[in-house]
Amino acid sequence: MTEKPALKLKRLQDLQFRGKRVLARVDYNVPMKGSRIEDDARIRATLPTLEALIAGGAKVVLISHLGRPKGKADPKYTLKPAAEALAKLLKKPVAFAPDCVGPEAEKAVAALKSGGVLLLENLRFHAEEEANDPAFAKALAKHGDLFIQDAFGALHRAHASTAGVTRLLPGAIGFLVQKELEFLDRAIGNPTRPFLAIIGGAKVSDKLLVLDKLLERVDALLIGGGMAYTFLAAQGINIGKSLLEKDQIDAAKAVIEKAYNKKVECLLPADHVAVREIKPDAEIVVTQAMSIPSDLIGVDIGPHTIEFFDEHVAKAKTIFWNGPMGIFEIPAFADGSLAVAKAMAEATKGGATTIVGGGDSLSVLKKAGLADRMSHCSTGGGASLELLEGKVLPGLAALAS
């Protein structure tokens, strides 16, 4: 994590904001079912920053995106439910404006009193947001005297609200972003050992850079999920009809070779849950070896793999997890992912530092009811992976003085 010390970032606590309009970028891109929020974790994660701003007498103007409305207003992606949820969490009114720029937004901002909170409508109702359009950034900046970046999950995007606005207003990072950077820098950059990484998910290609960086730091690497089948194929093991990225076989071989040279224990599934067809009521076959019969598809790690993955988690002192072990959305194929979640919860209880790198891993934790049993759950899967890859996130680079 060598690039971060070079970034001189102001923090919320370094600013004087009483009576000032604070434009705060938050990440309220929450999972929705119709007009109902299914998981408000990202909203709750911003409460420390918002409560500090409110207590300090700021006029708080919140901006966020939700979903992919393709640059035009779409009621399906309104942030109004987020405003209602936030009001309940803060136990105070949260005003809502039907646009993020223009007369209605400006009128709502002008009506704010010290300690008041306003959420503006979805930034992505305007194509100019993702295009980092300077005029759009200027229109957003009109709403604030200061800027607070508290949307960790959006830091890897150079959009108007994450990069453009920072050129126009004095800015700092909020408590959520501070916490994310602290855990990823301190716990992973200077971990208590043994340091274990558990990497899953569908594709090797999505995780190659982070695997390469992790091999510089970890003592052991456990690989599961769909990507494991490409690693097995790279070792000449039959994977049946399982997911395979043929163009990543050489890359998988290189990861295994680097692990060997670095004396990093690199473990792949030793058995599998397999089916003939991916459907909830499919007949399950548990393989007795690493290989998968030619007519079967691997959908989860097997019981023996769960057992030795659990053993490695139990003896680790720092654990980073990103990516499920199987198709966890189907309950019959979720045992491996849920087992990792349970093992990490036990490790946390035993004093280990456990970090979950956002994305589907958080969905697994929610399914297991264990999200509050980790040392840290990142609110941004993509951003946390890019930090681990050694990249400077555009949203942080834009804020650096």
Which are the catalytic amino acids? Answer: 42, 203, 359, 382
- H or E element: which one contains 55? helix 47-55
Q: Do 195 and 316 meet the contact criterion of CB atoms below 8 Å apart?
A: yes
Structure tokens at 374: 């980790």
> At residue 285, what are phi and psi to the nearest 5 degrees?
-120, 125
Written as six digits, the tokens of 77 are 């992606």
- Contacting residues for 77 by C-beta, under 8 A, at least 6 apart: 66, 67, 68, 69, 122, 124, 125
- CB neighbour list of residue 315: distance below 8 Å, 6 or more residues apart: 194
Task: Report CA Rg, the chain.
Answer: 22
* Terminal-residue alpha carbon distance, the chain: 19
The SS3 assignment for 399 reads helix
Residue with tokens 């990225």: 245
Task: Return d(Cα 361, Cα 229) in angstroms, integer.
Answer: 19
DSSP E strand boundaries for 64-194: 95-97, 117-120, 146-149, 171-173
Residue of 196, 235, 171 lying closest to 7 (CA atoms): 171
Distance in angstroms (rounded) separating the CA atoms of residues 309 and 55: 46
**Spatial separation of the C-alpha atoms in residues 100 and 144, rounded to whole Å:** 12
Closest CA to 301 of 264, 268, 277, 329: 268
The C-alpha atoms of residue 26 and residue 314 are separated, in whole angstroms, by: 35
| 75 secondary structure, DSSP code | G
| Residue 61, strand partner residues | 23, 118
CA dist 81 and 92 (Å) reads: 15
Q: DSSP character for 6? A: G
> How far are the Cα atoms of 128, 139, 163, 305, 401 from residue 131, in angstroms, in the given order?
5, 14, 11, 45, 23
